[in-house]
Amino acid sequence: MGRFTIRSRGQRMFLLAGCLFFSFLVITAIVKSVGRRSVLFVESPTAEQSTEFNSLDQLKTASSKLRLQDFHRVEVKGGRSVWEVKAKDARYYPSRNVTHVNDADVVIYRSADSSVRITSRAAKLHLSENALDRAELEGSVLVVLDDGVTIDTEYAVYDAATQEINAPGRVVIKGEGYQVEGIGLDVEIDNEIVKLSDRVYSAFEPDAKAPRNIEIGSL
């Protein structure tokens, strides 16, 4: 009988230790989950940060100085918004003035009531002081123009100096009753002129509106 009692105590101690360890794992997972949703500082910049980032994939894997949730930046001149960026989250690389964002929403304002909107799964923003010099957008890129015309592609670049959006790959342009596909796109933001350079195919419904400001041929 005594031997049975000693074995039962050992089993109870083993079960108690197991429960304590499981509770520790659960608490640790909760703390880590909360940390991922908050603004946090990470380790100091490493040598990886001083290298050239040739693609968004390289930028995503590099260590960043600051991570932010619900990213929002806007430039205002003369009481009017010039551009605005919203994103789900962001990583800021101060040594290069580069910010990587997820679920990007970029708006370029042409006037108080006119704008061009670009959304994408990810983007690399080149910032100087309060200005957005360039934005590289990747993954399900959608450009929306004032007249309801949409442009779908996988990679596009916005250049503030030229006020243009360029997409070197395949693009699909959709309007009211028509669709135009092609390779190589250039959008002049100021006048919303859309240019396609190669392999253009179009389809129009009988009551389709004639597309405005779409040019086909060499850029």
> For position 185, what pLDDT does the model report?
92
Closest CA to 112 of 80, 84, 143: 80
72 phi/psi in degrees, rounded to 5? -150, 125
pLDDT tens string 163-188: 999 999 999 999 888 899 999 999 99
pTM: 0.68
> For position 11, what pLDDT does the model report?
55
> For position 6, what pLDDT does the model report?
36
> For position 79, what pLDDT does the model report?
86
Reading the block at residue 95, the tokens are 């040594």
Measured CA to CA, the distance from residue 82 to residue 77 in angstroms comes to 7
| Cα distance from N-terminal residue to C-terminal residue, the chain | 94
| Strand pairing class (131-144; 214-216) | unpaired
What SS3 class is residue 20? helix
Cβ distance 105 to 143 under 8 Å? no
Cβ distance 152 to 139 under 8 Å? no
**pLDDT in single tens digits along all 219 residues of the chain:** 433 333 455 555 555 555 555 555 444 443 343 333 322 222 233 333 333 344 555 544 555 556 777 888 888 988 889 999 999 988 888 777 889 999 999 999 988 788 999 999 999 999 887 789 999 999 999 999 987 889 999 999 999 999 999 999 999 999 888 899 999 999 999 888 888 888 888 888 888 776 777 776 544
Calculate ∠ Cα 171-176-182, nearest 5°.
20
Residues facing 165 on adjacent strands: 158, 187
Closest CA to 194 of 177, 180, 209, 178: 180
